[in-house]
Structure formats: structure tokens, C-alpha cells
Amino acid sequence: MWSVVLTPLFFTTTGCDNKKATADDDLSMLVDSDSIAAEEEQAVMPKGADELFDDFFFNFAGNKRLQFKRIQFPLPVYKNGEKVKQLTQNQWEMEYFFMKDGYYTLIFDNAEQMEIVNDTSVVHVVLEKIFLDEKNVKQYVFDNVGGEWMLTAIHTNEMYQNKNASFLDFYQKFATDSAFQAQSINEFVTFTAPDPDDDFSTITGTITPEQWPMFKPGLIPEGVIYNVIYGQQYASDNQKFFVVRGVANGLEIQMTFRKKGLNWKLVKFNS
């Protein structure tokens, strides 16, 4: 391995432009709440958007009329496995999820699991809204019913019950505690980043923990993060592939963490 010292790289929500275009490309106005209010009633579900969950979801989260149409009311709500209530249509409030943030996060065991995002055979998806500070996870359950995606239930559970509990507990501290973050950098971290001298190229190298402040991504979400379970099975307790993905702005940051002994360490990141 070789170590590099380059001009600091700053990763912002403008990102690169080589990310595959998806149905969310027309939703950049969602960052502006006034634009949301003006456009949501006029938005129309694109033909074929139900084939992929992501295509459906970006419309669901940005179109109030569509959102109410795609919820199975009365909607059952569970807390720690027990049904606590049913929401009627009049009780539902428009949920924009991460659309106003401009980015969302995903958790996989490895990079290969990301392929499931484009699997048209997926018919059951769970979107997790993870409250790191409050230590609980709100799961929105979606099922493809008769060719149309529908929100069918909401489950709220304590974070320790989650399959990624160990990593989530670690990440909450990693994202908020700079001293802990420095301690959680591997001896050598492999990275790939845009070449500051060539917009169409990338550079690859390794950095040490001392160099991390110069190269770390500028966007490390904290407080509330998301995860989408498309059907990926979490079998590893020792490795997590964490993705920060932009909404209609090309941002993509990928971080690989491995557990070494009792401690999680960042071993690789791409942007």
C-alpha cells in the first residue's frame, strides 16, 4: 500500500454527474417546501414506475395525492410487536421522508448486495427511519399488491432489536464524536475520489488516521438516517457497507466498515 498527501477534497451535495438517472431526477424541487406545495397535486405517477420500488417511492414521497392513494387504510401501527392503533385517512399527515434533506442512506453487508435495488422481482420492501439519538427504528412496510406498491403497515421498535444494532450504535457515535471518529479509522484506509485536476477521472490511494480530517466526506449524516431493506439478508456482524446517496444531485459516498475485535473501523471509502 502507498500513502498519499493531496490537496484536501471536499464532498458536497453537488457530487459527480455520472450517476445513473432515475425517476427522482425530476424531483429536485422537493428541497424547496414551497415548490413541493405548488407541484405535489399536479404530479402524475409515471407509467411503469411500479416496476422498481425506488421509482415508485420517489413519486410516493413527493406527491400528496398519490401518497394517500397508495396507503392501505386503516393503516395498522405496531410498537415493539404489539398493534397499538389503526390510522384512518383523516389521521394521516403527508410524510416526505428524506426528500427535503436531498440525500438518504443505505446499509448492506457488502457492495454486491446493492444489485437488489434494481431487481424487478422484489415485492416486499421495508423502509427504516432510524432515530439514532432516541435509539428506535420506525419501519414503513411496503408490499406490491396487484402490480401497485402500497404502504401496508408501520412498526416501531427499539434500536437494539434491529439486525444492524451493533453498527447503528457505533455509527451514532462515529458521526457525532470527532475524537471517537479518529479512533475508528483503520491503520490504512483505501479511498477513491474525484481527481481535482480532471473532472472525468478518479484517484485511488490510501490514507492514515492522521490524514482522515483532510479527506473525509463532508456529509456524514447524524441524528436521523434511513435504510431500505429490499430483501437483502443481513448475515454479517463484522462488515457493513454504508451508502450516502443524493436525491437528484448525483451525490454518492460509500463507506466500508469492518469490526476488528470489539471495535468497528472504517477501512475504505469511495465518493
What's the mean per-residue pLDDT of the chain? Answer: 86
pLDDT at 176 over 50: yes
Sheet-wide strand order for 185-195: 103-108, 239-246, 252-260, 263-270, 185-195, 198-207
What is the model's pLDDT at position 16?
A: 36
pTM listed for this prediction: 0.83
The model's confidence at residue 3, banded by pLDDT at 50, 70 and 90, is very low
Note whether 127 and 140 are within 8 A (CB).
Answer: yes
- CA–CA gap between residue 112 and residue 269 (Å, rounded): 15
What is the model's pLDDT at position 9?
A: 33
What is the model's pLDDT at position 179?
A: 94
Note whether 130 and 225 are within 8 A (CB).
Answer: yes
C-alpha grid cell, residue 143: 408490499
pLDDT at 42 over 70: no
Q: What percent of the chain has pLDDT over 70?
A: 84
- pLDDT (tens digit per residue) in 132-144: 999 999 999 999 9
The sign one gets for the Cα dihedral 259, 263, 264, 265 is negative
- pLDDT (tens digit per residue) in 181-226: 999 999 999 999 888 788 888 889 999 999 999 888 888 899 999 9
